[in-house]
Amino acid sequence: MERRPMDSRPSWDEYFMDFAVLTAKRSTCLRRQVGAVIVQDRHVIATGYNGAPRGLEHCAERGGCLREQLGVPSGERHELCRALHAEQNAIIQAATLGHSIEGAAIYITHQPCVICAKMIINAGIERIVVKEGYPDELSVQILREAGLKIVMLGEKE
């Protein structure tokens, strides 16, 4: 087996973001596939992707996305969506499994919306790493007010 150079190893942020990207592939959302991974002490605690609540039909099974049909812009009117967000599902999974996530990091394929930002704050997550932005400035403001910064993958902290 050929060995690769040590400097080609992914950073911890890249490594855990790869998990988030893989997790997003399970998403049932027709608009945007999002994955989230909660990490504590370099160990994966929980994962989540966006999709309908457990046991309920997904939008594809119901004839399409209601927000899309109504022409709702991205980042608005989340209450019309059937799905839970990836961050919500990851936080719920940690709780269901009995894992505290106080002080953890969360790796998300996309910047959290304001609803998820508030959940992240109250869950005690201390570090947020994202791969892509999302059009929700209120989310950024609330996280900043809570002393949390969104780190774009590859950006210096």
Any idea which residues carry the catalytic annotation? 87
Using only C-alpha atoms, the chain has a radius of gyration, in whole angstroms, of 16
> What is the four-CA torsion angle of 106, 108, 114, 115, rounded to 10 degrees?
-70
Closest by CA position to 83, among listed 70, 102, 96, 67: 67
Closest by CA position to 116, among listed 95, 87, 136, 91: 87
The token pair that represents 102 in the structure block? 């106080």
The token pair that represents 23 in the structure block? 């997790």
Closest by CA position to 119, among listed 153, 151, 96, 142: 142
What sign does the CA torsion over 44, 84, 35, 58 have?
A: positive
